[in-house]
Amino acid sequence: MQATTQSWINTPPSDTLDSSEGFDRSASRGRTSTRKKRRHSHRGQGTTKQGSQAGCRQKRRKMDAPTLARPSYPTRYASPSRSPSRSASPAKQLRNLETAKPSVKFLDRSLVPSGTLRELRTRLARAVGSRFLPVQLRQSFEDNQLLDFDEVDRLFGDDICGQMSGDDLEHRIGLIMKAAQRCAERSRDEAAWSQVARSILQLALDLEYQGTSPECAFEILDIRNQMPATQFLPSLAGAAGPYIPAKKSDLALGFELEQTRIAALQALARLPGSHEIVPLSHSADFDTSSIPLQCAVEVKKEDGGHLEARTQLATWHAAAILHARYLLDSAERDAANLLPEAIQVGWLAIGHRWELYFTGQTDNEHISCYGPILSAELGTTDRVSLLRLIAAQRIIMKWLTTEYWTTFEQIFRSGVTSRTM
């Protein structure tokens, strides 16, 4: 019955009975010939009979295969069409970003503005420059693996593993390196590289929160099939459409739902006296729109397109910035007052190499995407680059749960409160 129902749903409506499922065409021709003879002899009566028979058959089809109801969501959760996403080449999408309103442009890390962003960049540079290798693994590093460093002893710290043993850490590093090497050698696709990226994020989370917090601050989310909501995309001038084409990313960190502060914002998001829910993120997906999102990871295979990855991450980030501006508009505050901590942090993971980017609002008309933020090699080229990457991720996690969260919570509460007054 299920297969029949699906087949009937996928069959376009037709004015003829030949389109009915399982219809015998030879028998149809016979009956048609008989009906023609009857029309010649009893034209008026025959026509009435034929219409009646067709109507009965059509009614039986509807009873046998009822139309399946689809859930209806609020307009802002509707995902935009994917065809523009596929049709927009990386070069065209880059032009779309640069000419959109607000415009989105890539800038060198040397242009990171003073204040919050520069302070975060400084903290990251220090974290990947010294004390990012666990002292428990000192004996496992051969001298030729550390030839690029003048002061080898400065690379090792005794507070990296937390409650994880050195053996467990070395085992997990080995699994990640093996998986990445296999992806490279066998030219595996983005899905395989995404599994490697997810394992790296999970190791960073385990090292950062194991034994030091009753619950992890983040959940790793697969967002490969989720678009940013259309209303949060930059506007596109011209006849091509009102918004730039939507672009997806691959992974993101969602603030853990079991934390009290997340539950409090979700409760606040449900406006009393209405069915409206203020989204906590810029995602078009009903679930992830109710979770604050950060630290997107755009994954490409070893020979994947760097420009495409940059434009995808920038589009995702721009939508997140405009979501924050939407909350400010709700609070009747000037979007130019968007605090500098309200930035998006994200990664490009192209094969073995990882690059870090910051995206923030310059003014009402401009959004800037800075990067790569760090000049040091990060990724899975070797164990040194992997542990350096994990050190950078842990600094970002600390920053997100402190400076960023304070800003986001303030913006969200002010936006929701103004709607209930």
Name the nearest CA neighbour of 102 among 12, 237, 198. 237
* Full pLDDT tens readout for the chain, 421 residues: 444 444 434 444 444 334 334 444 444 444 445 454 455 444 444 444 444 444 444 444 343 433 333 333 333 333 443 334 445 789 999 999 999 999 999 999 999 999 989 999 999 999 999 999 999 998 888 777 787 787 888 899 988 988 899 999 999 999 999 999 999 999 999 999 999 999 999 999 999 997 556 567 899 999 999 999 999 999 987 655 688 999 999 999 999 988 899 999 999 999 888 888 999 999 999 999 999 999 999 999 988 899 999 999 999 999 999 999 999 887 666 655 677 889 999 999 999 999 999 999 988 889 999 999 999 999 999 999 999 999 999 999 999 999 999 999 999 998 888 777 6
pTM over 0.85: no
Cβ contact 397:205 at 8 Å: yes
DSSP, collapsed to helix, strand or coil, labels residue 216 as coil
Tell me the sheet residues that pair with 104.
Answer: 367
How far apart CA 283 and CA 304 sit, in angstroms, is: 25
Task: Spell out the long-range contacts of 270-274 with Cβ–Cβ below 8 A and sequence spacing 24 or more.
Answer: 271/416, 271/419, 271/420, 272/420
- Are residues 281 and 291 in contact, defined by beta-carbon separation less than 8 angstroms? yes
How many beta carbons lie within 10 A of that of residue 293, not counting itself?
23
Query: For the chain, how big is the Rg over CA atoms in Å?
Result: 28
Q: How many CB atoms lie within 10 A of CB 52?
A: 10
Pairing of strands 103-107, 366-370: parallel
